[in-house]
Structures are given as C-alpha cells and as structure tokens.
Amino acid sequence: MILKAPAKVNWFLLVRDKRVDGYHDIVSLMQKVSLYDTLTLTPADDIVLTSDLDLPAEDNLVVRAANLLREHSGYTGGVMIDLRKEIPSGAGLGGGSSDAAATLAGLNRLWALGLDDDTLMKLGARLGSDVPFFLGGRSSLAEGRGERLTPLPIMSSCVLLLVKPGLSVSTGWAYDQYEKLTKKTVDIKLFCQTLDRKDFAQLRQMACNDLEDAVMKEHRVIAVIKDRLREQGSEFALMSGSGSTVFGVFSSQEMASRAAAAMGDHWCRVVNTLVDETG
C-alpha cells in the first residue's frame, strides 16, 4: 500500500492562553499543499521502519502511530513501513504529523480494523496536535491545542513558494519564546471568502502568525527571506506554523519559479494549495 502524506501551511496562527497541560490554545486556518512524503506499507510480523533518512525508530511518529494503533486494536501482526521524505523536519509544515496520520489511516485499512474517523482522530490527538488535521479534509479551522477542527472548504488554489533556511525550529521552543498573548481576532468567514477571491491586498492585512516575531528575533534569516520574497514579487509572505519555513504567495507558477532561483542556497519548493474536488 502506497500513501502520500501532504504538508500544510498556516494562513493565520493566533496564540491564546497557556493550558494546564502545558500547551497553548490556538486559533489557526490550516491548508494542505502539494508537497508529499511517501509511505509504503507491507504486511510483516513486527513493526519495522526503513527510510531514506537516518531516523531513530523509537522516537519516530510513524512507529509510535503504528504501535498505538496495534495496542488500541489488539492486532497481533505487524507492518514494514518505508518512509521517503520530501517534507523537511522542523519546518512548520507538519511533515511528521502528516506521516503519523497517513500511518493511522493506512494501517486501519491494511489491518482491516474498521475503526471510524472519530476514533482515529482521538488516537491522532495522542500523538500530536496537528495529527487530527491531516486525518481530515484539505482545509480546517483548528482550535484548542489544534485538535478541535472545523472543516472550512476553500475552492481556489494558490501558488506558493516554500523557503526554508538551513535551520530547524522546535515547536515547543517557539511557543516558550512567545510571551504576549494575542488579543487579535480574525473574521473566519471573511478570510475564507477573501482567499477564494484571491484578494491578496486584503489577505495581506489579515494573514498573521503570532509566533513569527519571537522566532525571527532569534533567527534573523527568516526575516531576510520574507523581505526577499516580497522583493521577488510575492503578494505577501508569512512564516508557517512555528517555522522555520516561510511561504510566499504568487500570482503565477512562473513568478514563483523565478523567485525560487533568487533564494540562494535555501531549500525551496513551488507548490499549490489543495482544494476540495467538489469545488
């Protein structure tokens, strides 16, 4: 069984109060994009992970997802999981969470467990705040620590250039640096309508990331990338999640590709946001 696990971006990320469990409450609009890790699942006697990267199996979210599902279901077999990475780690693109979600959904089918979506979501939330999002639709409003999801269909696809400097940012560290709790609000319905219209001038005013200033203070290269994206013609640019990736929104694939050529040694990918097929 071959599975594609997509990356995501955050169109906005508002940080609320810190919870008793140590997480912060957030409000964020997340959307999947056309950058994928690939997982190949093959029946086996035990749970085994192979990868094109040197990944410690005991700490890997894919292995943790497989073990959690086997423990929950009582399944006695195993699986060999081959993971091919395209989504960089520590990038704010949700690669590890997406891989874990694909593992849960894929093994539910491979092992013929018949678990419903709600059960998979609850298991996913035990693995990480973003995992439930990747088990759902292509765009959702995430609240709580990220596990409370409201599907928000977006019908227009945008061209993005993802740019990641040669550093990774720990999500926990990024939230620890953030001290001033936001009072900002976003009109969710208006934001989605503006995104569908591709009204970039208004989106530029509405898109925000509360973690951005704190992360850029420590890693000035992220601010430099934002400035360079604007110089190269992006409609606007924003850090995704806890960083370190910055995405620039472009009016065409050609403009995004030209901008990528001006980003020096930074990792770059031109992608499209994924939209509902019914749209």
> Is 32 a catalytic site residue?
no
Give the separation between CA 139 and CA 87, rounded to whole angstroms.
Answer: 18
Neighbour tally for 131: CB within 10 Å: 28
In this structure, which amino acid lies at residue 34? S
Q: What region, left, alpha or beta, does residue 233 occupy, with left being phi > 0 and alpha being psi -120 to 50 degrees?
A: left
E strand residue ranges, 128-245: 139-143, 148-151, 159-164, 208-209, 236-239
Both structure tokens of 70: 């086997």
- Pick the catalytic residue: 8, 32, 164, 226? 8
Given strand 246-250, what is the order of strands in its sheet?
A: 236-239, 246-250, 159-164, 267-272
Give the separation between CA 63 and CA 51, rounded to whole angstroms.
Answer: 12
Both structure tokens of 30: 């997340």
Residue of 214, 181, 188, 135 lying closest to 19 (CA atoms) = 181
**Distances, alpha carbon 50 to alpha carbons 64, 100, 109, 133, 225, in Å:** 14, 15, 20, 25, 34
**Distances, alpha carbon 74 to alpha carbons 14, 81, 158, 161, in Å:** 39, 19, 43, 43
Give the separation between CA 131 and CA 125, rounded to whole angstroms.
Answer: 6
- Pick the catalytic residue: 99, 130, 164, 226? 130
Neighbour tally for 78: CB within 10 Å: 18
> Is 276 a catalytic site residue?
no
> Could you give the residue numbers annotated as active site?
8, 130
